[in-house]
Structure 1
Amino acid sequence: MTALDDATIVRLRSVPVERTPQRLDPLGVQSAWALVPVLSVVAVGYALYSTLTHLDQSRDPVLSWVAFGLVVVAAVVFPLRAHPGRPPVGLWSHLSIVGTCVVAASLFSASVWGANQRVQDDWGQIVVAVFLTAMALYRPIGEVLAVASVAAVILGTTAAFEASFLTIATNPVVYFTVAATPIMALACGGCGYAWTMTGETLAWREVARAGQERLEPELRDTAKRIVNQERITTLNEQIVPFLADLVQRGEVTPEDTATARELAATLRSVSVAAVNRTWLGETLAQALSARGEETGALRGVDRVDDPDRLERGFTAEQRAVVGAIIATVAKLPGLDPASVSIAATTPSAPAFELRCRSTDGRRAVRGELIPFVSALRSVGMNAGMRQVGDQLTVRFSYPEGENR
């Protein structure tokens, strides 16, 4: 029995993944990342405009600019934190970014307290709403709505207490609604889009999984035929002609004995390679064959050091991303094909290292691989890459503790 038993495989494949667009469709969300800095610029621009127009109503201008500075901090942190090159956005990042905006909005309200004429043109509720709209791509819908509700209550309550100072005298509940509605409306809009996106992604996965289950018996039979064909090829091209020559000559020479040993070793190696055939080996061999290297499907075994078959823990999504990484590395123009290898270690928390030599520039390599490294993080694995000189290492592993 290998170190990776059935119970371990089930545990690895059962690592919980949050139901968010970033987790379920990481490459799709990466393409939408440009929306985050755009919305951040919009939020900062509106906060600046509103701050300037409220200067004549400000009792503490310094506090107004401090509030604006906090918005700038959140607007810088959010795009950086959500960048495809970083791990998925977590709960604490969500709370920190939105919390900073809520604190900034509260400070702005305090700076104009008693002199503010209208809450409709205050920037607090709009800025918070804009950030929450984009956050729905990165965090669970329930969490985003909960944070939006808390923010709406805080800013709505603040607006309600300002009612007695405002130009238009009306029921405080009206001002509560005025301040809270933009937050909830835009948050619900972003969550609605995220709900549709995740629903369609999950539906597509079910269709793909069903198709894979239907094709699995056929693929297994195809693999058996390939193995048999490789053995038959070896027999027809080497062993049969050798035996025919022996029969024709009617004698066995010392050279024939040596040749028989070599052919037996060849046949044995083919059989062993067939038994040790792995998904990683097949994938690596096919990727290298695509660039013209002379390597058959069985040669991939020589490049993969995975004696415990840790690759069996991969889910379908993880295999898709790992396969994309291998294919991308194999296509690097400056790659030395002979240097490519994959090593697997630590059965309790399987870790894989893809190593190779490439003369391609660091920026070009990162541009090719970072989207897939980020995608691996989004499907429940730790992943990273390092390039020192011409040595490139891509590492991906299962988390040892709780997946966050």
Structure 2
Amino acid sequence: MEQSRRRDLGAPVRAGGGLTMALRHTPQQLDPLGGVTAQSFAWIFTFGAVATAVGLTVGHREEYRSLPLLLVAFALLGAVGAVTVLAARPRRAPFTWRSALAIHLLGLAAVGFEAAAQWGTDTAVRSDWAPLALALFVMVTGCFRPAVEILAFAGASAVVVAAVTMAGAEAAGLPLPGIVYAGLTAGPLLAAGSGAAAFSATLVRRLLRWRTQTEGVRLTAAESIRARVRDDLRDERLSLVEGEVGPFLRELLVRGETDAAAAGRARELGEALRRALVAEADEVWLEDLVAELHDPAGLASRMDETQRAAVEAACAALSRRRTSATLERAGGGIRLTLRWQRGGGGRLGPEVQAVLRSVFPGSRIRPGSRFVELDFEPDGG
């Protein structure tokens, strides 16, 4: 499933895929760099949730009977904020369904503890801050998660919030039917979930449409780059033949004999010529991006276009470091390991890390230890 998701990033898609495609994909999956800027929304809404909780608590402090339970509710609110902010960090991309589920579970726990802290004295249901705070956190997920999931989680949470509110209203002896008060707390949560889902679906639909419209341009640019690479490799091969192999052979003809030194030189030139020919045939693109390449089986050629683009971005970010790349079989797939030395300019910024994590699910990126491990399946199976 993870591999199929990764292939969606680079595979041609049709805008006509319609609502199904828009509901299944995530904005972060199609636009990893957008997730870098979206992390600011996580901070903004987290601050808004905390400010809402503090303001409503101070304004209606007479309704709270149990300070310990209220403090637990605030601790759970802090946990929700921590999960949201950490999950939105590019270095931890992608924002997973587990993080979204944790937001809802912790948020619902905060709803329960706040209700318990004012059990029997909650005369102003509209002042309950936990459901409102959860609604704000749900809005953040619109930047990262698929629309169907957002709606499902928000709907389930709204049912729980409504049940807690109705029970609290009955305990407080409020005059109106419990469903009325449930609407005051669950309504904003449902509205936030619907809005976040609509935002996610709209953004995904526009990204898919843009990819379809620019597919021809991108394919043309890619073919142009390949043509330039082939020309460069051909020129390198001709330079090798004309500048070194040709004079060496002419010298042998003039001398009419060979010795150990000549044999060694012949092997050296033969190996260089073989590498040039293989590079042209297999389009070994990675060799020019790193200082050292250990790929005896030619596994770099098994990457697809999306994977190559992501690795090229990482190598470009580390272009001022001495970088080595090693490719080897790992189980049923292939593992690419990038390592680089200390010193020099360049680093793997959060935007590059976000792209790598989206293209290579389960990748191990350790900038502090100066290595990256990327697992992938060979292109074409």
SS at match of 1:359: coil
Are 1:51 and 1:64, in contact at CA under 8 Å, matched by a contact in 2?
no
Alpha-carbon distance, 1:279 to partner: 8.0
The structure-2 alpha-carbon separation of the partners of 1:27 and 1:312, relative to structure 1 and needing over 3 Å to count, comes to same
SS at match of 1:382: coil
Deviations 1:38-75 (A, max 9, x none): 21121112112222333211232321222122111211
Is 1:381 the counterpart of 2:365 in the alignment?
no
Is 1:23 the counterpart of 2:26 in the alignment?
no
Residue 155 of structure 1, aligned match among 143, 161, 180? 161
The structure-2 alpha-carbon separation of the partners of 1:279 and 1:30, relative to structure 1 and needing over 3 Å to count, comes to farther
Is 1:275 the counterpart of 2:258 in the alignment?
no
Report the Cα distance in structure 2 between the residues aligned to 1:72 and 1:12, rounded to whole angstroms.
34
Are 1:280 and 1:311, in contact at CA under 8 Å, matched by a contact in 2?
no
Give the AA of the match of 2:139.
T
SS at match of 1:341: strand
Alpha-carbon distance, 1:23 to partner: 1.9
Report the Cα distance in structure 2 between the residues aligned to 1:246 and 1:252, rounded to whole angstroms.
5
Equivalence for 2:335: 351
Give the AA of the match of 1:229.
D
Give the AA of the match of 1:89.
F
Q: Normalized against structure 1, the TM-score is what?
A: 0.76
Equivalence for 1:297: none
The structure-2 alpha-carbon separation of the partners of 1:343 and 1:207, relative to structure 1 and needing over 3 Å to count, comes to farther
Give the CA RMSD over aligned residues.
Answer: 3.5
Report the Cα distance in structure 2 between the residues aligned to 1:76 and 1:42, rounded to whole angstroms.
14
Is 1:205 the counterpart of 2:206 in the alignment?
no
Equivalence for 2:351: 371
Report the Cα distance in structure 1 between the residues aligned to 2:191 and 2:281, rounded to whole angstroms.
51
Are 2:284 and 2:301, in contact at CA under 8 Å, matched by a contact in 1?
no
Alpha-carbon distance, 1:270 to partner: 2.5
Give the AA of the match of 2:305.
A
Equivalence for 2:304: 315
Are 2:236 and 2:276, in contact at CA under 8 Å, matched by a contact in 1?
no
Alpha-carbon distance, 1:170 to partner: 3.0
Report the Cα distance in structure 2 between the residues aligned to 1:187 and 1:395, rounded to whole angstroms.
36
Are 1:160 and 1:173, in contact at CA under 8 Å, matched by a contact in 2?
yes
SS at match of 2:333: coil
Report the Cα distance in structure 2 between the residues aligned to 1:99 and 1:370, rounded to whole angstroms.
28
SS at match of 2:25: coil
Are 1:351 and 1:397, in contact at CA under 8 Å, matched by a contact in 2?
yes
Alpha-carbon distance, 1:375 to partner: 2.1
Equivalence for 2:17: none
Alpha-carbon distance, 1:134 to partner: 0.4
Are 2:146 and 2:201, in contact at CA under 8 Å, matched by a contact in 1?
no
Are 1:13 and 1:314, in contact at CA under 8 Å, matched by a contact in 2?
no
Equivalence for 2:96: 90
The structure-2 alpha-carbon separation of the partners of 1:382 and 1:230, relative to structure 1 and needing over 3 Å to count, comes to same
The structure-2 alpha-carbon separation of the partners of 1:351 and 1:118, relative to structure 1 and needing over 3 Å to count, comes to same
Residue-pair matches, total: 360
SS at match of 2:341: strand
Report the Cα distance in structure 2 between the residues aligned to 1:256 and 1:218, rounded to whole angstroms.
46
Report the Cα distance in structure 2 between the residues aligned to 1:31 and 1:149, rounded to whole angstroms.
27
Within-5 A mapping of 1:27-176: 27-163=33-169, 169-176=175-182
> What 5-or-longer segments of structure 1 have no aligned partner?
1-10, 289-299, 400-404
Deviations 1:123-164 (A, max 9, x none): 122111001000222222111111111111111233334445
Report the Cα distance in structure 2 between the residues aligned to 1:252 and 1:197, rounded to whole angstroms.
73
Are 1:155 and 1:180, in contact at CA under 8 Å, matched by a contact in 2?
yes
The structure-2 alpha-carbon separation of the partners of 1:355 and 1:141, relative to structure 1 and needing over 3 Å to count, comes to same
Alpha-carbon distance, 1:28 to partner: 1.2
SS at match of 2:363: strand
SS at match of 1:352: strand
Report the Cα distance in structure 1 between the residues aligned to 2:303 and 2:241, rounded to whole angstroms.
36
Alpha-carbon distance, 1:218 to partner: 5.4
Are 1:37 and 1:79, in contact at CA under 8 Å, matched by a contact in 2?
yes
Report the Cα distance in structure 1 between the residues aligned to 2:128 and 2:94, rounded to whole angstroms.
32
The structure-2 alpha-carbon separation of the partners of 1:237 and 1:394, relative to structure 1 and needing over 3 Å to count, comes to same
Q: Normalized against structure 2, the TM-score is what?
A: 0.80
Is 1:328 the counterpart of 2:317 in the alignment?
yes
The structure-2 alpha-carbon separation of the partners of 1:145 and 1:13, relative to structure 1 and needing over 3 Å to count, comes to closer
Report the Cα distance in structure 1 between the residues aligned to 2:233 and 2:157, rounded to whole angstroms.
62
Alpha-carbon distance, 1:344 to partner: 0.7
Report the Cα distance in structure 2 between the residues aligned to 1:163 and 1:12, rounded to whole angstroms.
49
Deviations 1:154-210 (A, max 9, x none): 112333344456697334332222222211112222222222222222233334443
SS at match of 2:326: strand
Report the Cα distance in structure 2 between the residues aligned to 1:180 and 1:146, rounded to whole angstroms.
14
Are 1:341 and 1:354, in contact at CA under 8 Å, matched by a contact in 2?
yes
Alpha-carbon distance, 1:243 to partner: 7.4
Report the Cα distance in structure 2 between the residues aligned to 1:242 and 1:58, rounded to whole angstroms.
93
Are 1:118 and 1:167, in contact at CA under 8 Å, matched by a contact in 2?
no
Report the Cα distance in structure 2 between the residues aligned to 1:102 and 1:184, rounded to whole angstroms.
14
Give the AA of the match of 1:59.
R
Report the Cα distance in structure 2 between the residues aligned to 1:208 and 1:309, rounded to whole angstroms.
31
Give the AA of the match of 2:95.
V
Within-5 A mapping of 1:194-343: 194-214=200-220, 221-238=227-244, 251-252=254-255, 254=257, 262=265, 265-266=268-269, 269-277=272-280, 281-285=284-288, 287=289, 303-331=292-320, 335=321, 337=322, 340-343=323-326
SS at match of 2:126: coil
Report the Cα distance in structure 2 between the residues aligned to 1:164 and 1:264, rounded to whole angstroms.
91
Are 2:87 and 2:96, in contact at CA under 8 Å, matched by a contact in 1?
no
Report the Cα distance in structure 2 between the residues aligned to 1:137 and 1:346, rounded to whole angstroms.
36
The structure-2 alpha-carbon separation of the partners of 1:266 and 1:64, relative to structure 1 and needing over 3 Å to count, comes to same
Report the Cα distance in structure 1 between the residues aligned to 2:85 and 2:283, rounded to whole angstroms.
35
